[in-house]
Structure 1
Amino acid sequence: MTEVAFHFNVPDKLGYACRLLRKATGSGARVVVTGDAALLRSLDVELWSFSPLEFIPHCHAASAEAPVLAASPVILADSPRGTPHHEVLVNVGGPVPDGFERFERLIELVSVDDGDRQQARARWKHYADRGYAIRRHDLAGEAA
């Protein structure tokens, strides 16, 4: 069964996602990132520029050819359906990702924004109602 974790009170969702992806790919994990199209475009830009000495190889599922998708450790996708990786799924916001249950791990990133938090509550309820054990990581508590 998919391991589900929520990372709450993320002050800078894009910066946090970049650090999370750096750590995941550094350990050899292959990751699919889902979310709103505009947020994924911003994440794409951030992945190119967040660290002057590092680059996280990534591509967009909608525009990359099959060999590129298979070789990329990070895939940005509106939906994880049809992506070749099934290890880690990171949702940067929006609805429950279609097909999340195919992944070993799902990480939900939740900012301090009230709208984002409300959407996260709905996703939490969706997973809990289906029997998924959920781990909670509160970044506000970690910073204290």
Structure 2
Amino acid sequence: MTRVEFYFNVPDKFAKTVELCEKALAKGRQLTIYTQNDAMSSEMQNLLWSHSASSFLANSHVNEAHSQFSPIVIDAQGENLLQDDVLINLQTAQPLFFSRFRYLVELVGSDEADKAAARVRFRFYKDRGYDIKSTDAAAI
């Protein structure tokens, strides 16, 4: 069953995504970042490539020819999933395909609209019997 973890009070979802990707790659994990649109995908890709002056986090858009070899795949559509290890959801709704992944990460900011959407996702997972871990990013 998919493990679900919510990070609440995340001040910068992109920075947290980069941090989580770096930690997951160090453990040999593969990731899919599910973005809201192509513009967000491009912004996320740029951040991953330039997150540090001395290194980068190899990634690709799902529609690029070499994406099947990339440890991080960025996708706004969810129609051509290439792996099933870690999914980071940056959309406001739960991904319909989340259960094929081993681990789902939900990031929640501090504005009320984002919190309200996260509550709906939280209830969705909880009502279906998923055990949910909640982490307050402000307390880390």
* Cα deviation digits, residues 76-128 of structure 1 (max 9, x gap): 01143431210100112321112100000001011112211111111101101
Cα 1:133–1:120, aligned 2, differ >3 Å: closer, same or farther?
A: same
Does the 8 A contact of 1:92 with 1:108 survive in 2? Answer: yes
Q: Which runs of 5+ in 1 are unaligned?
A: none
* Cα deviation digits, residues 19-63 of structure 1 (max 9, x gap): 1101111111000010211332221121122211111111111x3
- Structure 2 residue 135 is matched with structure 1 residue 137: yes
**Match runs of 1:1-144 below 5 Å:** 1-37=1-37, 38-61=39-62, 63-65=63-65, 68-142=66-140
2: CA distance between counterparts of 1:108 and 1:81?
Answer: 19
Runs of 4+ with deviation above 2 angstroms = 38-41, 79-82
Q: Which runs of 5+ in 2 are unaligned?
A: none
Mean CA deviation greater in 80-89 or 15-24: 80-89
Cα 1:40–1:48, aligned 2, differ >3 Å: closer, same or farther?
A: same
TM-score scaled by length of structure 2: 0.93
Q: Secondary structure at the match of 1:118?
A: helix
